Every structure is written in structure tokens, then in C-alpha cells.
Amino acid sequence: MTNLRGLRWPAALAVALLAATACGRSDQGGGASSGGVSAAEGSTAAELLPARYKKSGVLRVATAVGYPPMEMYKPGTTELTGVDPDLAQAIAKRLGLRLELTNAAFDGLIPGLTSGRFDLVMSSMTDSPQRRQAVDFVDYFRTGGVIMTKKGNPEGITSIEDLCGKSVVLAKGSSNLDIGQRQNAECGKKMRISQSEDAPTGLLQLDSGRAVATIVDYPVAQLFAKKNKAYQTLPRQYGAAPWGIAVAKDQSGLRDAVRKALQDLIDDGGYRKILDTWGVGGSAVSRATVNDGR
């Protein structure tokens, strides 16, 4: 996706909305060769781990809550949950380390990583050329925007081309707005595009009939559709891009150990089980790669 995070909401609002119907968020942010990294033949993820991490026994992972179902608080608590916390726990277990998971402001995640405050960042972070100037990524998720309509899809929309000539609402500043505007440039009969503050207020326009469709980040859309049966999603993703686990550039040993741990989880099905638990299996990857964004 062309934005670097997705739709961002304040954490307190996200928790409140999760308890009701659904939640989401939006942000802009700031290597090694792409593709898979060959681990030492026969080495386990724990064996690849540099000595300093084995000695500490702890894997310090930072995330930023407010983007369900990827990372959020359990309703009524400050306990972190979601896809990224679950994957972080599974990776730490593969590495033989105890997970120490911290919530931090999204714009402070990379500075905290490069300063040594955190070992990894797992927070729905797009693997972008800009960010790869500062960190490496182990790519673990590939996602884009999906079209949402009212339940039953009364307009019979099957693809983004079908939005031409229709009233569409898109969130301000999001990659999904870019996706819609690029398609609109190709339309013979132009869309009537309105801009909402965020995804939830955009869905209100579907309720009122002011718009017939919107485009929402796939993970968030899945949660919306699950929590509120008034909406449905179409299967195809647009503008898909990889999200990565960020690692400091001077920690290639940790990066390779994490890639190995993730690949093992992919191979044994543990990875897909986590994604399916949260309803986002459609963004699963088949290989753990490094710096594979474009």
C-alpha cells in the first residue's frame, strides 16, 4: 500500500469501538538484499541467535496499539493482543526467549529500535524504501485495500472498475484514497468521491445511502464485517504491499534468526493458524523474506 501504516485511530477510541462494532488507524512513516536469507545449514532459529540475546534471555518487541485486529488492547484491560502480539510470542518461543512486549507511539518505534531500546518492531509497518534506509525488514504479511459495501452488495459491485460512475467514500490521507483516485482517472464516467475522517465515519455514509462503497485496509475490513453484519467485503485486495518486522541494520544476526523462526512457523502451520484466528489469512505469505518491499 502506498501509505506506510494504514488507517490509524487513537488507541482509546479503538478500544471503545472494538467493544461495539470494529476499529482501525492512519500514519506516514520513515538494506539487505531482498528475498530469503540462507540460514546456516541445519541451524535452528535459536542456534542462529547472537550470543547477546541468548545471554539476556529476553526479546524486546515494540508495537503501537490502535489498529485492530493487528495490535490492540483486550477490551477493558491494558493487555496487548492481536495478530502481531501473537506472532511475536510465537517467534520468541522459537528463539528460546521470553517476550517483553511494549506499547509505544507509532512515530517513536523506529527511533526506539535504532537507539537500542527495542530489539524488534512488529506494528503493521509497511516495508518501504524510505524506512529501509534506517532498518531491515523480515516481511511477514502482504495486504492492501478491499472494497466494502452494504450487506448483499445491492449495486452488484465485483471489482474496482465497477466503482466508476458511483458515489464512493474514502478516508482522508489513506492509501485507499490514492487507490480510488488512481482508478477514477481511468474511469469514463467519474466516481463521486467524498472523503471521511476515518473508516468508521465512511461506513456511516454507506448506512445513509450517501455512498455505495468504500475501500478499507483488508485486516480492518475483515473485523468490520465480522463485528457488523450490515457490511460485506469483496475478496480482491488492491495496492497490496508487504508489512515487515523491523530490525536494526546492525543486527543482521537477529534478523536472520527471526526470519528462520518465522519460516519455521510458516512451514509447520503455526503462522497460518494465528492469522486465521484473527480472520486475516488472506494476507498470509508463503515465505519469510527480507527487505522485499518496493
Question: Could you tell me the pLDDT band of residue 293, with boundaries at 50, 70 and 90?
Answer: confident
CA distance 45 to 39: 9
Distance of alpha carbon 79 from its chain centroid, rounded? 19
Higher local confidence (pLDDT), 273 or 19: 273
Give the 3-state secondary structure of residue 48.
helix
Give the 3-state secondary structure of residue 150.
strand
CB count within 10 Å of CB 143 equals 24
Distance of alpha carbon 240 from its chain centroid, rounded? 11
Q: ω before 69 within 30° of 0 (cis)?
A: yes
Parallel, antiparallel or unpaired: strands 135-150 and 213-217:
antiparallel
In tens, the pLDDT along 15-46 reads 333 333 333 333 433 334 445 445 455 689 99
Query: CA–CA distance from 251 to each of 96, 109, 203 (Å)?
Result: 18, 16, 43
The pTM for the full model equals: 0.84
Question: Could you tell me the pLDDT band of residue 3, with boundaries at 50, 70 and 90?
Answer: very low
**Contact predicate 217/147, CB 8 Å:** no
